[in-house]
């Protein structure tokens, strides 16, 4: 058996942050359409192939060395010698009529349920009973094992681009490094001095981080600072229950909008989300005067990084929810993200890493509150909006076409709504993850966000 | 709004005992067969009727006053002013082929998931996709709200005995007293002296309890004492995962066996379970020399009690798993239960109540260990075997016949297997609830228990 592999502090942070109300796993809902000539027993055959899978590779066969000690300062991965594929790969079915609504309800329940920390931290649910004749996979992976970017890369590498291939590989056939820091830290397991050194490196990053946050806080102009986020229903305490809704647009529509307005694709997405949220909050009678602030995680890996562990930074941007006119809203978003990017570029790599470690874990809210002297009750930002770039080409699994991939993400106290965008095969897919009891009628928000894109097109005189 | 209703110490005990590995709720799996002339939209119509249900009555609309304070010494129920039937009544489906195995897997997963302590402590899952053309209900209720007996009474009173009635009442339409002690305790909420008096009553019961346990421990002969339970795989630490399996026999078969052998129905059931467990443990190579000891909860209510809260005592009995011959095993079980009943009858009502409070909550294992000086690692008994008497007549819901009702119960550290028997409409239904990771192949145990009854019939020269 291989030696224990210590988790990086960032990865371990997601274990410390795990609570019943805020489990720290991410998900992917993958919708598939079997080949047209698929026999009736096609799906059954897939189950049998999945059950008879070859050995599961690292990190998918790893479990925590001390699952009973959630706050272990030295968490490590060890191989699960009792690995049982039947536990991780599960079949389930959507009740009639098998439509979007029923699928969303099922996924919300699956996503609400925490992973068993004593086993390898992932589950795969094979979902049947969809009215379109297709099936779906819902994958849950703990954020301490991989981030959304890495999970995406694993899906991309497991699936094939060949529609005629019978290949039925899934993410757990794809080997990954479990932690960006694990090689450095592996030695420190038996070397406390080494561990102190790496803690020292993290501490040294606090200087640039504090300076960056101070600039952020005191800044004037279009850059969004942490003083500016209004209170909204999205920033209440959450319960353990979830809702999940989806939306998608052709990427070409968004790109045409970006081109016509001289903005970026991300600006279009943020402005559409802002438009959807504006209408949603107006209906609830809860739209604040000040614009909502989005927390936008940014991948800080080199472009060719195969993924593994966590490597993300973040920036804050206005969603311009105070602006009624769609084009003006887009301009306000664009001005805000342009400034924020400059801000981000100005940070040193250490500062970006520390920023990530401070902000990405939900406990980071408190830490950030403490650092900036704002205190925890203060709302620093309202909504997390991630954009994870996915594969551009259509993918296939066992001859079935992957027709859509929607991300499901983490919500936490004070951040009851997460919007994650995922581009795949010419479509922008959006997964809305919300606390069931804090964010009512999440489905409406998905619909309004779709309509906000059409509004922009109309305002810019583009045909949709 | 009504004033808060304090929980009795016994009811509150189930909240204190609640952990991620051992949620303290009980369940009922109810299988139904729609009328022969049911239209295709029959099930959909039921969902719509359930969604449009009239107001839910007490205690089904009550939630804990302080759900965030699990160890509150003064837990109380208050009305949930945000009660949302859609949260509690859920639709789900069994994957193909919709057989016993898939249903068992689904129920095990639903049962493994803890109830949300911040809401009324029950869920109803309407299950479709069964291969026999029927549907099922799976009901989860926290043991702090009602015990299995009371839940059964609520089902019995909600359903109708009239096959032609369209009545679609469910348990949450049936009002119940939430706690046997709640009337006495209600005053004590604002009256600490009253609370101290009731604590004093509980403390006074400890004298008779200690004497009873001492007699139990020092006793010789067929009565099973707490020194005698062997170590088995059922008495390990559990995980949060579950398996669920079922078995049933016609009551007439069991009664004929009891008559032919001069024993009781309960003895036949215990001997059959003992036979099943013997074969199961033999196959695992884990059969201990000493017989396994069953913990048998006994309802201590008067026969016409409508239920509400918790009121159970318990006795310990040998399962005679060391005896290969089925008839000799039955005689050994009978001798053990006869002695145990005499023992139980000799206890005062206060002692029985204290016994219940000490033993029924899983934390009671430790308490009992401490009282008897045995310490916690010692196995006091191996398996919980409950027998809950159900309604003798066939019941109906919305014109559908209730064809079977299986109980799902609680397992805990050191007690990884629970067997609950439930008689209904001439059939004895058995629900086997086990920890998925501690009790492998639970389905086999259900099969072997069925075969043990046939063995007894053969040995007693009765035709099955």
pLDDT in the model for residue A464: 53
Cβ contact, residue pair A128, B92, below 8 Å: no
Cβ contact, residue pair A116, B240, below 8 Å: yes
**Chain A residues bordering chain B (beta-carbon distance below 8 Å):** 20, 43-44, 87, 90-96, 102, 105-106, 109, 113, 116, 118, 126, 128-129, 239-241, 436
Cβ contact, residue pair B95, A436, below 8 Å: no
Q: Which residues of B touch A239 (CB under 8 A)?
A: 116, 118
- Of B425 and A187, the structure prediction assigns the larger pLDDT to B425
Instruction: Give yes or no on whether A5-180 and A205-390+408-459 have one common fold.
Output: yes
Contact B62, B1 (CB under 8 A): no
Known catalytic residues of A are 143
CA–CA separation, B22 and B421 (whole Å)? 21
The CA distance from A159 to the nearest CA of chain B, in Å, is 24
CA–CA separation, A351 and A207 (whole Å)? 8
Give me the tens of pLDDT residue by residue for chain A, a chain 464 residues long. Answer: 567 899 988 788 889 889 899 999 999 999 999 999 899 889 988 888 888 777 788 999 999 999 989 888 889 999 999 999 999 999 999 999 999 999 999 999 999 999 999 999 999 999 999 999 999 999 999 999 988 878 888 999 999 999 999 888 899 988 886 654 444 444 444 444 544 554 455 455 455 555 555 554 444 445 455 546 788 989 888 899 999 999 999 999 999 999 999 999 999 999 999 999 999 999 999 999 999 989 887 765 555 555 544 445 667 889 999 999 999 999 999 999 888 776 665 555 555 555 555 554 444 454 454 445 444 445 678 898 988 888 999 999 999 999 999 999 999 888 899 999 999 999 999 999 999 999 999 999 999 999 999 999 999 987 65
pLDDT in the model for residue B324: 95
Q: Which residues of B touch A109 (CB under 8 A)?
A: 90
Measured between CB atoms, which of B90, B126, B129 is closest to A93? B129
The answer to ipTM > 0.85 is no
Q: Which residues of A touch B113 (CB under 8 A)?
A: 113
Asked whether residue B366 carries a pLDDT value surpassing 60, the answer given is no
With b for 16 or more beta-carbon neighbours within 10 A and e for fewer, the A168-199 pattern comes to bbbbbbbebbbbbbbeebbebbeeeeebeebe
Known catalytic residues of B are 143
Cβ contact, residue pair B113, A113, below 8 Å: yes
Cβ contact, residue pair B96, A241, below 8 Å: no
pLDDT, tens digit, for every residue of B336-350? 988 877 666 555 555
The CA distance from A61 to the nearest CA of chain B, in Å, is 17
Q: Which residues of A touch B46 (CB under 8 A)?
A: none
Cβ contact, residue pair A44, B92, below 8 Å: no
**Best residue in B19, B96, B123, B413 for a mutation probing chain A (most A CBs within 10 Å):** B96
- Mapping DSSP onto H, E and C, the string for chain A reads CCCCEECCHHHHHHHHHCCCCCCCEEEEEEEEECCCCCCCCHHHHHHHHHHCCCCCCCCCCEEECCCCCCCCCCCEEEECCCCCHHHHEEEEECCCCCCHHHHHHHHHHHHHCCCCCCCCCEEEEEEECCCCCCEEEEEEEECCCECHHHHHHHHHHHCECCCCCCCCCCHHHCCCCCCCCHHHHHHHCCCHHHHHHHHHHHHHCHHHHHHHHHHHHHCCCCCCCCCCCCCCHHHCCCCCCEEEEEEEEEHHHHHHHHHHHCCCHHHHHHHHHHHHHHHHHHHHCCCCCCCCEEEEEEECCCCCCCCCECCEEEEEEECCCCCCCHHHHHHHHHHHHHHHHHHHHCCCHHHHHHHHHHHCCCHHHHHHHHHHCCCCCCCCCCEEEEEEECCCCCCEECCEEEEEEEEECCCECCECEEEEEEEECCEEEEEEEEECCCCCCHHHHHHHHHHHHHHHHHHCCCCC
pLDDT in the model for residue B300: 56
Cβ contact, residue pair B436, A87, below 8 Å: yes
The CA distance from B39 to the nearest CA of chain A, in Å, is 15
Q: Which residues of B touch A93 (CB under 8 A)?
A: 92-96, 129
Q: For chain A, what are the domain ranges?
A: 5-180, 205-390+408-459
Q: Is the dihedral of CA A11, A15, A21, A26 positive or negative?
A: positive
CATH architecture designation of domain B205-390+408-459: 2-Layer Sandwich (3.30)
pTM attached to this predicted model = 0.86
Q: Which residues of A touch B106 (CB under 8 A)?
A: 92
Fold of B5-180: Chloramphenicol Acetyltransferase (3.30.559)
Asked whether residue B294 carries a pLDDT value surpassing 50, the answer given is yes
pLDDT in the model for residue A389: 85
Measured between CB atoms, which of B105, B128, B436 is closest to A95? B128
């Amino acid at each position: 058996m291989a030696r224990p592999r210590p988790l990086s502090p960032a990865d371990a942070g997601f274990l410390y942050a795990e609570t019943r109300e805020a489990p720290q796993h991410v998900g992917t809902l993958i919708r598939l359409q079997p080949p047209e000539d698929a026999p009736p027993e096609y799906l059954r055959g897939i189950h049998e192939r999945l059950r008879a899978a070859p050995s599961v590779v690292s990190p998918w066969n790893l479990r925590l060395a001390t699952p009973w000690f959630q706050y272990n300062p030295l968490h490590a991965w060890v191989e699960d010698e009792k690995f049982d594929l039947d536990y991780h790969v599960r079949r389930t079915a959507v009740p009639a009529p098998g439509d979007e609504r029923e699928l969303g309800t099922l996924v919300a329940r699956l996503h609400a349920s925490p992973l068993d920390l004593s086993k390898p931290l992932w589950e795969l649910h094979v979902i049947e009973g969809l009215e379109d004749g297709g099936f779906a996979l819902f994958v849950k992976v703990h954020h301490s094992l991989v981030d959304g970017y890495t999970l995406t890369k694993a899906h991309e590498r497991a699936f094939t681009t060949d529609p005629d291939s019978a290949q039925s590989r899934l993410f757990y056939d794809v080997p990954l490094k479990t932690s960006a820091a694990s090689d450095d830290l592996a030695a420190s397991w038996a070397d406390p001095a080494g561990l102190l050194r790496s803690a020292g490196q993290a501490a040294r990053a606090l200087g640039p981080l504090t300076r960056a946050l101070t600039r952020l806080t005191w800044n004037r102009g279009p850059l969004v600072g942490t003083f500016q986020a209004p209170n909204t229903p999205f920033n209440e305490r959450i319960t353990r229950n979830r809702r999940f809704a989806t939306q998608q647009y052709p990427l070409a529509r968004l790109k045409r909008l970006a081109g016509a307005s001289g903005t970026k694709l991300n600006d279009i997405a943020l402005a559409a989300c802002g438009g959807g949220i504006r209408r949603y909050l107006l209906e609830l009678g809860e739209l604040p005067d000040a614009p909502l602030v989005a927390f936008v995680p940014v991948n800080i890996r080199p472009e060719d990084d195969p993924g593994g562990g966590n490597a993300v930074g973040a920036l804050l941007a206005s969603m311009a929810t105070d602006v009624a006119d769609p084009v003006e809203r887009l301009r306000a978003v664009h001005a805000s993200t342009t400034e924020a990017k400059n801000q981000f570029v100005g940070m040193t790599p250490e500062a970006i890493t520390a920023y990530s470690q401070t902000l990405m874990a939900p406990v980071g809210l408190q830490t950030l509150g403490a650092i900036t002297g704002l205190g925890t009750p203060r709302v620093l930002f309202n909504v997390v909006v991630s954009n994870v770039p996915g594969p551009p080409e259509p993918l296939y699994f066992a001859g079935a076409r992957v027709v859509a991939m929607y991300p499901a993400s983490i919500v936490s106290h004070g951040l009851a709504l997460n919007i994650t965008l995922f581009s795949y095969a010419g479509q922008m897919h959006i997964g809305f993850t919300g606390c069931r009891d804090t964010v009512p009628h999440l489905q409406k928000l998905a619909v309004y966000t779709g309509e906000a894109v059409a509004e922009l097109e109309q305002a810019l005189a583009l045909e949709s």
